Amino acid sequence: MTEERDGAAILAAEEALRIEAGALAVLRERADLEQIVRVARVLLEAPRIITVGSGSSGLAAAKFAHSLCCADNPAKFMPPSEAVHGGLGAVHAGDAVVMVTRGGGTEELVPIMHVVNARGATLIGLTENLDSELAACSDILLPLHITRESDPLGTMATTSNTVVGVLFDAVLAAMIAISGFTSAEFGLIHPGGAVGTRLAKEVGR
């Protein structure tokens, strides 16, 4: 029984790798690079950047906010529960709000979309559903293309989170290329850990 389960586990792991690698190949083929650069410019020009998402999408949004800060672009992840209880007062005209929801109509996110629109902020949406509420409310849309999740149940945010993370990385790369952000600047705000030590050596600090 153990050998049978180990064999099934190996096949499941191999299939997960195949599915997610395939999803990234599709992303590379279908990604609108000009739209990614447009998002990068909007984020660079925004006085404030707020990222929003629920569940696994929220974790991806929080990671993106941290990555933006690492590239010297102040950003904050706002949990939906905080947003709808007054946190949206942080959103002003000219700000950028990045929202992630695969289905595009997550119940707790819909009110946030409308408030962002009413406040005059730019809503950047990432969703697979182009007929969704998020697609309709977004000023800029980055479509997600996901054939299936890679877990054996096909229901967990596995492939979708990989695609979202890589799409966010592409936006970040474009922002760094446009802004000219340097290793010396990164070293100043990242003094900790092995990365901080390496950067300090590179710039002679």
Average pLDDT for residues 182-198, to the nearest whole number? 86
**Looking at residue 205, what is its pLDDT?**
58
The CATH class of the 2-180 domain is: alpha beta
Torsion of CA 165, 171, 174, 176, to 10 degrees: -70
Domain ranges (residues) in the chain:
2-180
**Looking at residue 125, what is its pLDDT?**
98
pLDDT at 1 over 70: no
pLDDT at 26 over 90: yes
Cα–Cα distance list, 1 to 4, 62, 118, 157, 179 (Å): 5, 41, 59, 29, 57
Cα R_g (the chain), whole angstroms: 19
Output the six-digit token pair for 103. Answer: 């289905």
- Work out the mean pLDDT of the chain and round it to a whole number: 94
The structure tokens 């600047």 sit at 185
- Report the range of poorest mean pLDDT among 46-55, 77-86, 183-192: 183-192
**Looking at residue 193, what is its pLDDT?**
87
User: What global pTM score does this model have?
Assistant: 0.93
Span 106-146, pLDDT tens digits: 999 999 999 999 999 999 999 999 999 999 999 999 999 99
- Name the band, by pLDDT with cuts 50, 70 and 90, for residue 196: confident
